[in-house]
Structure 1
Amino acid sequence: MRNVTRLKTKKDRLQEDQADLLKQALLPFSDGDGAMRDAVGRLYVQINRLTTPDPGTTEPFVMIRPAQNAAVVDWLEANSKRPMKAMRVWALLFDHLMPHTGQIMLTREEIAEKVGIGADNVSRIMNELVRFGAIFIEREKIAGMRGPGFVRYFMNKHVAEVGSRATQEELALIPRPGAKLAIVQGGKA
């Protein structure tokens, strides 16, 4: 059996080299405060989306069983106040996940713009997804900010597992959320 190899143009190689340089330039900022770490994460996701790395490098992936996705969609259809918009939000989240951590790298304003609803409705839909258990939140207290803190959304690893074919060195650069959930291997607790 023969392997199919995608031939790269000079432009493709240049784009990948530039993406690697950008990622390396972000490294000193990955240990910053919450806002800086969030901004670095967003840039990392955008760089990955704009470039097409070789399989076996940094290409992120999401694993979700069709039954799990159907369960979320069915629940949204039966329980959401805005089921069609909620399903569009659910679908959108998969395209904006931080490799390895599963952090959703969109603000509610960005989600609102992409789906065509108000930011307050995005919050309601995200809270519905949290209530069902499809996603979870972590709050980070920011000095000088009133209230419970900055909300970060993460994909529930029991629903969809996010990964990366990144090297161990690249994975070490990606900020990890607090370990609240454990991954279930092969359906075993």
Structure 2
Amino acid sequence: MARVRLNPIVDRVQGAFGDIVFRTFDGKTVISRKPAPSGQPPTPGQEAQRIRFREASFYGRVVMADPQTRAFYEAVATQRKKPVFSVIIADFLNAPTVTSIDDSAYTGATGDPLLIQAQDDVEVTGVSVTITDDGGTVLESGPATADEWRWRYEAQTDVPSGTTVTITATAMDRPGNTGETHVEKTTP
């Protein structure tokens, strides 16, 4: 792989030229050969990924046309030294994850806090919490609020002592991807 050193005459190189491809990787321009097609038909998984990538590309074009959203992604791309469109595509393809639900202070009483940690490759835009009983009936549901480095949800209803509940936290990112996890707890 060859590297390109930019100068006052050449400010940026991108795309393909014959059998040579110019790519930006970690803030540097890299030259490589154009990949050869395998000649085999795509697997169902590959076809599904191609469809998903087309959707990501469409999302990228929509974001690039919106100055406010584009400015947000440009700031992220500048910080990471990555192309803006690549950051947008990656954000679309990677769903957020809920890494933990701290239910240690939850006793089933109104106002009890649930602390949720969630992460995404770009930004978690919201977290919602749903509490269900062991029969699957929704006891309560609502949005959590950002609290410095985590999300906080305060219980809205009283749950009788000895009830087993499932607490589900769902995180959402800018493209609308979701990721969730749940914990079970028996109220004291």
TM norm. shorter chain > 0.5: no
Q: Which protein is richer in strand relative to its size?
A: 2
Q: TM-score, normalised by structure 1?
A: 0.28
* Structure 1 or 2: more helix by fraction: 1
Compare CA radii of gyration and give the structure with the larger one. 2
TM-score by length of 2: 0.28
Q: Which has the higher contact order (CA 8 A, sep 6+)?
A: 1
